[in-house]
Amino acid sequence: MKIDCTDMACPQPVLEVKKALEEIKEDGILEVKLNTLSSIENCKRFAINNGYEIRENKLEDGTTILAVIKGYPCDLPQEKSGNFSNKTFFIKSNSIGSGELGKKLMTGFIKTALELPVLPKNIIFVNEGVLLSTKDENKEIIESLKKLEQKGVAIYSCGLCLSAFGMDANDLKAGVVGNAYETLLMLTNSEVVSL
């Protein structure tokens, strides 16, 4: 089966991939045509997280064909081990409160997360929160986020929010671009700590 998801806004490519995979009743290959870095990464992550093997082929016209392989046995990457809670940190701002104090509180909060005996499973940045994973001025936070990633914490920054600030996946200093579908799944399947 082949589907064309070029020029689709988040989260439509992931939803189209999900729908198409549900239509493939047995073993098969879904070929997805994509043309943005965030849609490619989101669809790859969705496929891998749902147990599918993927192959990626970049074409000369700038598009990518993502082959999602359903049903054939394969070795999939294992999730990193660690001591994780079922918590998702949902960060909606680049500060806790206003002014310099609010920025210092946010820096302290994220740095302290490294010291928790049980780590959060996910950290999701939306709205102005995406500035924490992208801007060089947030060097301390970015270093802490990288360390949390190394320990196995999944870090996502909203693709639509990045676009609103004139940024994309290339601007991320830590984590990956998230999408609305994955975000809603994480929020409904975990205990949410919202900032």
Encoded amino acid at 114, one letter = L
Active site annotation includes 10: yes
Number of Cβ atoms within 10 Å of the Cβ of 114:
14
10, 43, 158, 161: the active-site residue:
10
Q: Rounded to whole angstroms, how far apart are CA atoms 65 and 59?
A: 7
Distances (CA, A) of 149 to 65, 70, 82, 152: 28, 28, 11, 5
Q: Which positions are catalytic?
A: 10
